[in-house]
Every structure is written in C-alpha cells, then in structure tokens.
Amino acid sequence: MMLHIERVLTRQQVAQCRQVIDAAEWVDGNVTSGHQSALAKRNMQLPEGSPAARQMGDMILDALEKSPRFISAALPLKVFPPLFNRYAGGESFGNHVDNAIRPLAGSDFRIRTDLSCTLFLADPEEYEGGELVVEDTYGEHRVKLPAGDMVLYPSTSLHRVTEVTRGARIASFFWLQSMVRDDGQRALLFQLDTSIQQLVMRHGNADPQVLQLTAIYHNLLRRWADS
C-alpha cells in the first residue's frame, strides 16, 4: 500500500526545519548506502546522528505520533531516526530496493524495514525533476508533494529519485518496522479502521455495528501483530 499523508508538518515547522538543516554541514549521501545503492546514488546528506538531524528528526517523530492516519496505516512498532537528504545540480538516485535490516550506528537498535517514508521539505515549484518514482504491480507512481507532506510505501518496492535539473530537492527519509509485517494485512486493517471511523462519525461509538466491526478489527490485529 502506498499512501499520501498530508500536513505532517505545518508550514511553520517546515520553515524551522529548513532553517536548521540548511545551515548544517552536509556530506556525501553514500555514507549510509549499502553496496547496491552506492552504485546508483548521487546526493548530499546530513550526517546520521548530527545535532541538526537529531533535533529535526525528533520534531518529525513527535508530529507523526499526533497523526491518526499515519498510526492507522503504518501500525509502527519501531521507527528509524529520520535522516535528511538534498539533491541539486543533476544529482539523482537510480533504481534500488532499501536494505531489509537497518541498524543504527553505534547502538544495538535495528529494525526490519517494512515501510519507507519520504517527507518533502521543499515545495514542487522550488526545483525541477526530483520525483520519487515507486514501482509496483500496477506500474510506476511518480510522487512530488508539497513541503510538509509525506509518502509511505512498502520497502520492498523498487524506487528511484529522478535527476534534479534546477533548484534543490530537500527531504527527510526513514524507515519503520510495523507491528504487522504483511503489507496486504496492513492494508486490510487500514481500510477497516477507516471505515469504522466513518461509521463512528455517523452513528457514534455505541452503535452495535460499530462495536462489532471494532471487535473484528482488534481480533485481526491480535492475530497478525507482533509486539
């Protein structure tokens, strides 16, 4: 399941984030690449664990905790600290698949990458190119979102970032391990939860059908979830 999550960050938060990271020191993006990715990747990145990355990463994680749509769709168990990248002057990232396991340098923390996240920090009119292209069984999906919006997609997907020919594409990217490993099961739970919330708006929490569907949701989650 591929999902657009709107307004994860407010315009004020985007401006604050850009002020901090634009003033920080950027390094070659291949500092976090695996062997396959290093062959295709040309961009710049904030060093993992740098003060700017930690500060703004914490702001993003706090915002995601307040996003019901993100929680419902992702069912996050563990989230990798957000990283930040910048593409400019013809830089791009060719087709690749994210590593299945992502360790946090200098710690025992590691996650299975079930879902990949890209949070855009530059508006589409600020740069040419720089589309995130995600491939699945339905073909290619080209993503270029307003600053503050995020796309969530399965980490198993082949994907790339097209060449930036004008301006700079700036984004945060990270991964998460979901309580529900299977993408199809997560999608069903998200659809069911969305339907339940719509019924609650119409009929209230005490409606017998709402209660029945809520019980089904939690019993499916109990069956499929790791914790």
- Helices 208-224 and 183-203 cross at an angle (nearest 10°) of 160
Give the residue among 78, 79, 21, 84 at the shortest CA–CA distance from 48: 84
Q: Are 175 and 110 in contact (CB under 8 A)?
A: no
**Over the stretch 50-77, which tens digit does the pLDDT of each residue have?**
999 999 999 999 999 999 999 999 999 9
* pTM score over 0.85: yes
Domain ranges of the chain: 3-178, 183-224
CATH level 2 (architecture), domain 3-178: Sandwich (2.60)
Helix, strand or coil for residue 199?
Answer: helix
Q: How many CA atoms lie within 13 A of 15 on its CB side?
A: 3
Beta bridge partners of 6: none
pLDDT at 55: 98
CATH level 2 (architecture), domain 183-224: Irregular (4.10)
Helix, strand or coil for residue 200?
Answer: helix
**Over the stretch 147-201, which tens digit does the pLDDT of each residue have?**
999 999 999 999 999 999 999 999 999 999 999 999 999 999 999 999 999 999 9
